[in-house]
């Protein structure tokens, strides 16, 4: 009993921590410590996941007590740690951003933690019922975080778009699951997978269900052409919330995608090029990368550029997803490693963007950043560093993330897909380097508003933590690679 509670301790930590913070926010007059408390809860969640991992989650007796609702395995522990890391970094950023921009309302942290709780449920769900509950818990929290700046019309617009399209996507997903239940009589992913392996995939109702599920999943990972909400929602939300959406929500959505596609549709027929999901996913990946990179290059707002860049990264990850049809373990390990590097690089970039601006002198457009590298080198340097990692320049983490995903695509024989992805990452380098050009080689026009960096221990702490992780993942990827391989081993084959 105690060991079972230990096995789900990351979940309990975040869930109970969210409740306690909510109480603390409601009954205490002290404002300052909430960000620290929320970040501590998240990092404690990381520590719990690491503890269960090292104890050996397979050896815990009665670990099946939660199945099929929740699968407590190395895959879900990896995502517990990853999502808690992303959430913890967002909390630290919020500790600096919210007071600076006069948004310091305590509900932010309880919403963020509850949303993280939903994301962790989503990554552990082994049944469509818990999957849907986790998805909605996560999404409802994020809709409200996106609408957090109520005085800003842009924030409300973005949040409303996100809410409507997100609900629509959830409904499509649910419809797909309902059709699958009609075909197979199962709601647990393993049961659906067993029924599909018996040839049920040829049933038109099952195909319809698969198509609807793919569309719903593509909405949630914001792949083109289902990405329309992304730039508006990302731009309107407060930047720490944007970071949470880009990092944790996207990570959990990919966890859901891996589990659904590889467990429920992992049989040789459904995962084949001739009669399954891989070609659809491959084309979505191609359109996503190309459109997002081309549009991102034309943005004037840096935050919007980062939003499109996160769409483009979803495209690279989808390339890795396609490769899972040949080697489920190796390719999904590549996807997990990419998610890890993407998480730390993106969190760092958003943190640096926060650090570059203060109230009334925010860093919004490229012009705002002109010359900041010379005026405030300490604020510009981390931004440049994380952008290089996002662009995939060695020896940063981003390089190895792309390397492993592209390599697994090559080994799967998808040369054309790899070439398109490679060309796209070159296009992507253009708009990341454009920020560097503005920061270091331009001077602001006379009298034009420029960004002034803020000072915040919280944001600095988040930046240092992400920078250490980016360098560590870039220089010594071996250790983390063995971790992602163990996490991906649950898919077998």
Q: Which parts of this chain interact with other proteins (CB under 8 A)?
A: 15, 19, 22, 66, 69-70, 102-103, 105, 107-108, 110-111, 114-115, 117-118, 121, 127, 129-130, 133-134, 136-137, 140-141, 143-144, 147-151, 203-205
Q: Select 121 or 463, whichever has its Cβ closest to other proteins.
A: 121
Instruction: Give phi and psi for 153, each to the nearest 5.
Output: -65, -35
Cβ of residue 214: shortest distance to other proteins, in angstroms?
Answer: 19
Q: Select 245 or 295, whichever has its Cβ closest to other proteins.
A: 245
Measured from the Cβ of residue 263, the count of other Cβ atoms closer than 10 Å reads 20
Cβ of residue 204: shortest distance to other proteins, in angstroms?
Answer: 5
Q: In 3D, which of 82, 84, 83, 58 has the Cα closest to residue 71?
A: 58
Cβ of residue 113: shortest distance to other proteins, in angstroms?
Answer: 10
Q: In 3D, which of 412, 400, 393 has the Cα closest to residue 285?
A: 412
Q: Select 35 or 323, whichever has its Cβ closest to other proteins.
A: 35
Instruction: Give phi and psi for 275, each to the nearest 5.
Output: -140, 30
> Is the previous residue joined to 395 through a cis bond, with omega within 30 degrees of 0?
yes
Alpha-helix runs per DSSP H in 185-228: 189-197, 204-220
Q: Select 56 or 204, whichever has its Cβ closest to other proteins.
A: 204
Cβ of residue 448: shortest distance to other proteins, in angstroms?
Answer: 24
What span, in angstroms and rounded, lies between the C-alpha atoms of 362 and 453? 8
What span, in angstroms and rounded, lies between the C-alpha atoms of 361 and 359? 5
Q: Select 43 or 108, whichever has its Cβ closest to other proteins.
A: 108
C-alpha distance across the termini of the chain, in Å:
32
Cβ of residue 119: shortest distance to other proteins, in angstroms?
Answer: 11
Cβ of residue 235: shortest distance to other proteins, in angstroms?
Answer: 18
Q: Select 65 or 464, whichever has its Cβ closest to other proteins.
A: 65
What span, in angstroms and rounded, lies between the C-alpha atoms of 302 and 474? 25
- Whose structure tokens read 């630290």? 92
Report the Cα 441 to chain-centroid distance in Å. Answer: 32
The SS3 of residue 298 is coil
Q: Select 102 or 482, whichever has its Cβ closest to other proteins.
A: 102
Q: Select 12 or 464, whichever has its Cβ closest to other proteins.
A: 12
Cβ of residue 184: shortest distance to other proteins, in angstroms?
Answer: 13
What span, in angstroms and rounded, lies between the C-alpha atoms of 201 and 209? 10
Q: Select 147 or 210, whichever has its Cβ closest to other proteins.
A: 147
Q: In 3D, which of 32, 178, 144 has the Cα closest to residue 94?
A: 32
Cβ of residue 121: shortest distance to other proteins, in angstroms?
Answer: 6
Burial 315-350 (b: 16+ CB within 10 A, else e): bbbbbbbbbbbbbbbbbbbbbbbbbbbbbbbbbbbb
Q: Select 28 or 102, whichever has its Cβ closest to other proteins.
A: 102
Cβ of residue 404: shortest distance to other proteins, in angstroms?
Answer: 33
Strands (DSSP E) contained in 111-231 are none
Specify whether the CB–CB gap between 182 and 210 falls below 8 A. Answer: no
Cβ of residue 216: shortest distance to other proteins, in angstroms?
Answer: 18
Q: Select 15 or 334, whichever has its Cβ closest to other proteins.
A: 15
Half-sphere CA count of 130, side-chain side, radius 13 A: 21
Cβ of residue 115: shortest distance to other proteins, in angstroms?
Answer: 7
Cβ of residue 152: shortest distance to other proteins, in angstroms?
Answer: 9
Q: Select 108 or 337, whichever has its Cβ closest to other proteins.
A: 108
* DSSP state string for 228-285: THHHHHHHHS-HHHHHHIIIIIHHHHHHHHHHIIIIIS-STTTTSTTTSSHHHHHHHH
What span, in angstroms and rounded, lies between the C-alpha atoms of 163 and 443? 40
């Amino acid at each position: 009993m105690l060991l079972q509670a230990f096995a789900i301790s990351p979940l309990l930590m975040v869930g109970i921590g969210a409740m306690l913070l909510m109480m603390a926010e409601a009954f205490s007059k002290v404002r300052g410590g909430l960000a620290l408390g929320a970040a501590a809860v998240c990092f404690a969640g990381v520590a719990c996941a690491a503890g269960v991992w090292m104890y050996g989650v397979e050896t815990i007796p009665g670990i099946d007590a939660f199945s099929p609702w929740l699968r407590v395995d190395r895959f879900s522990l990896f995502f517990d740690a990853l999502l808690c890391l992303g959430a913890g970094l967002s909390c630290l950023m919020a500790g600096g951003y919210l007071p600076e921009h006069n948004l310091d309302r305590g509900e932010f942290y309880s919403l963020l933690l509850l949303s993280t709780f939903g994301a962790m449920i989503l990554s552990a769900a082994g049944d469509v019922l818990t999957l849907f509950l986790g998805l909605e818990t996560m999404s409802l929290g994020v809709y409200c975080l996106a609408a957090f700046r109520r005085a800003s019309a842009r924030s409300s617009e973005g949040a409303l778009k996100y809410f409507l399209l997100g609900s629509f996507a959830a409904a499509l997903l649910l419809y797909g699951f309902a059709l699958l239940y009609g075909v197979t009589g199962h709601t647990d992913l393993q049961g659906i997978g067993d029924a599909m392996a018996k040839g049920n995939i040829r049933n038109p109702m099952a195909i319809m269900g698969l198509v609807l599920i793919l569309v719903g999943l593509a909405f949630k990972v914001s792949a083109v052409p289902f990405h329309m909400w992304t730039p508006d929602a990302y731009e309107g939300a407060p930047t720490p919330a944007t970071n949470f959406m880009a990092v944790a929500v996207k990570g959990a959505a990919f966890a859901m995608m891996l589990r659904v596609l590889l467990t429920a549709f992992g049989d040789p027929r459904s995962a084949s090029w001739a009669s399954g999901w891989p070609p659809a996913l491959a084309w979505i990946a191609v359109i996503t990368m190309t459109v997002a990179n081309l549009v991102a290059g034309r943005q004037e707002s840096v935050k919007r550029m980062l939003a499109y860049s996160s769409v483009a990264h979803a495209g690279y990850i989808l390339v890795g997803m396609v490769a899972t049809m040949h080697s489920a373990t190796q390719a999904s390990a590549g996807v997990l490693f990419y998610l890890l590097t993407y998480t730390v690089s993106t969190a760092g970039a958003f943190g640096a963007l926060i650090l570059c601006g203060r109230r009334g002198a925010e860093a919004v457009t490229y012009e705002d950043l002109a010359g900041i590298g010379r005026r405030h080198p300490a604020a510009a340097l981390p931004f440049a560093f994380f952008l290089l990692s996002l662009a995939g320049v060695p020896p940063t983490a981003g390089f190895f993330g792309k390397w492993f995903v592209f390599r697994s695509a090559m080994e799967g024989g998808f040369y054309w897909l790899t070439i398109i992805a490679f060309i796209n990452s070159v296009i992507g380098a253009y708009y990341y380097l454009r920020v560097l050009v503005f920061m270091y080689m331009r001077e602001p026009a006379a009298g034009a508003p420029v960004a002034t960096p803020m000072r915040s221990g919280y944001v600095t702490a988040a930046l240092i933590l992400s920078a250490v992780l980016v360098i560590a993942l870039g220089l010594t990827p071996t250790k983390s690679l063995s971790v992602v391989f163990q996490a991906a081993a649950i898919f077998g084959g």
